[in-house]
Chain A
Amino acid sequence: MSERARTAMILVSGAALLVLVLFAVAGLPPYGHYPGPYGDVLNTVAPHERQIPNIVTAVNFDYRGADTLGEEYILFAAIAGIALVLREDRKRTKDEPLPPSRVLHTTGRTDAIRAFGALAIAVTVAFGGYLGIHAAQTPGGGFQGGTVLSGVGVLVFFALGYRAFAKLVRKEPFEAIEAVGAGAYAAIGLATLVATGAFLKNALPLGGEGQLFSAGTIGVINLCVLVEVFAGFTLLYLEFAHETRVEEPEPEQR
């Protein structure tokens, strides 16, 4: 299709779609007046039944835990796909040393950057860990914490350099960690199926509200998610970081 034909087609279709969506949303209840009942029922029963203040976490890992399991595996499959595609022409075994590499675009890395980077890394680790562990009590959780923690990898890359990053994050242990995180979630589901007849039923002791170890399997699943998201995103950044390097040919002997 010529560019003009395509532009005409998308303009017409886009206008039509805009009108259709506006017609559709006109039928919704007015903004700010959620009618329920799903959310209201959960807000009422969850704090009591699961001893958990953060209802969003309860929904994610308990009431709608199967959705989160599926989403974990989406992350897992996507990381596998990325590794597949980007690793094609880098067939290095883990025993070989890193090849000599040349930075494609370089900015100076001063001492100030290194120092500030190290500080930022420390703060990020602490904050990410805090965010990830307190899923049941605060608006945090495995996803949020795992993503923040994986930012540590990016900080290492920028502040301390590619070599430091590649040495710190070896692909095999992280792949194993990621797989264990995902598999553990499925395994918990299977175990609860066997134990209680319902998949992902919250069968562990619930503890008191507001305590760190509370809400039964929600806490355990949250840790699995934290581990998996952290490992998965770090692997992602590693793969993309490798792409900023060019394989250099052997230096000639003069």
Chain B
Amino acid sequence: MISFIAFAVPAWIFVAGLYGMATSRNLIHLILCLSVAQSSTYVLILEVGYRLGATAPVFGDVLPGTRAVDPVVDALTLTDIVVGATVTALLLAFALRIYKKRQTLDPEALRAMEG
């Protein structure tokens, strides 16, 4: 049961983020929904590397060989978060520029090209 709940959380976050993006009326809101959807992957990756009753993979105070969680998923998530943050920043800069030129952030009103 707990497995199901644990893994259903990222599934839900992912879908909720996509829904938010598709129904958004504001570019800033859209970017933040993208962040939410991205965070679902962080949660899933960290969950697959978790071990019940194990310690962090830092063997400063504990002896090497103690049961520890997977360090690889931690490293992957670190990389992921930086990537996600920088892409969010870039998209926010784009949104800011668009607002300065077009005075609106409504996706329906902002059409680059049609047809």
Direct contact of A and B (CB under 8 A): yes
Residues of chain A touching chain B, judged by Cβ–Cβ distance below 8 Å, are 3, 6-7, 9-11, 13-15, 17-18, 21-22, 25-26, 28-34, 36, 38-40, 42-44, 46-48, 53-56, 58-60, 64, 67-68, 71, 74-75, 78-79, 81-82, 85-86, 88, 137-139, 141, 143, 210, 229, 236, 239-240, 243
Apart from the given pairs A42-B71, A85-B94, 10 other A-B contacts in the complex at a CB distance below 8 Å: A3-B23, A14-B15, A28-B3, A28-B7, A53-B60, A85-B93, A85-B97, A138-B58, A143-B78, A229-B82
A224 to chain B, nearest CB (A): 14
Q: Name the CB-closest residue of B to A58.
A: B71
A-B contact pairs, 16 of them (CB 8 A): A10-B22, A13-B18, A21-B15, A25-B8, A25-B11, A34-B50, A39-B57, A44-B64, A47-B64, A59-B74, A60-B79, A64-B72, A67-B75, A81-B93, A85-B94, A138-B58
Let me know if B15 and A64 touch, CB within 8 A. no
Task: Decide if the interface of chain B is mainly helix, strand, loop or mixed.
Answer: helix
Give a binary string over B12-27; 1 marks a CB under 8 Å from any A CB, 0 the rest.
1011001100110000
B30 at the interface (CB under 8 A from A): no
A59 to B74, CA, bound (A): 9
Let me know if B90 and A78 touch, CB within 8 A. yes
Chain B residues closer than 8 Å to A36, beta-carbon distance? 70
B48 at the interface (CB under 8 A from A): yes
Let me know if B52 and A33 touch, CB within 8 A. yes
B86 at the interface (CB under 8 A from A): yes
Let me know if A31 and B2 touch, CB within 8 A. yes
Number of A-B contacts (CB under 8 A): 158
Chain B CB within 10 A, most for which of A13, A55, A79: A55
B68 at the interface (CB under 8 A from A): yes
A139 to B59, CA, bound (A): 10
Chain B residues touching A, range: 35 or more
B110 at the interface (CB under 8 A from A): no
Chain B residues closer than 8 Å to A210, beta-carbon distance? 60
Let me know if B15 and A32 touch, CB within 8 A. no
In the complex, the 6 A-B pairs of residues with the closest C-beta atoms, listed nearest first: A39-B70, A32-B52, A78-B86, A25-B7, A10-B22, A47-B64
Let me know if B71 and A18 touch, CB within 8 A. no
Let me know if B69 and A75 touch, CB within 8 A. no
Q: Name the CB-closest residue of A to B56.
A: A139
Chain A residues closer than 8 Å to B86, beta-carbon distance? 74-75, 78-79
Let me know if B90 and A39 touch, CB within 8 A. no
Let me know if B78 and A56 touch, CB within 8 A. yes
Chain A residues closer than 8 Å to B4, beta-carbon distance? 26
Chain B residues closer than 8 Å to A75, beta-carbon distance? 82, 86
Let me know if B11 and A54 touch, CB within 8 A. no
Chain A residues closer than 8 Å to B96, beta-carbon distance? 86, 240, 243
Q: Name the CB-closest residue of A to B98.
A: A85
Let me know if A55 and B14 touch, CB within 8 A. no
Let me know if A21 and B64 touch, CB within 8 A. no
Let me know if B19 and A10 touch, CB within 8 A. yes
Let me know if A38 and B51 touch, CB within 8 A. no
* Neighbour of B79 across the interface among A15, A28, A67, CB < 8 A: A67
Q: Name the CB-closest residue of A to B86.
A: A78
A149 to chain B, nearest CB (A): 15
A27 to chain B, nearest CB (A): 10
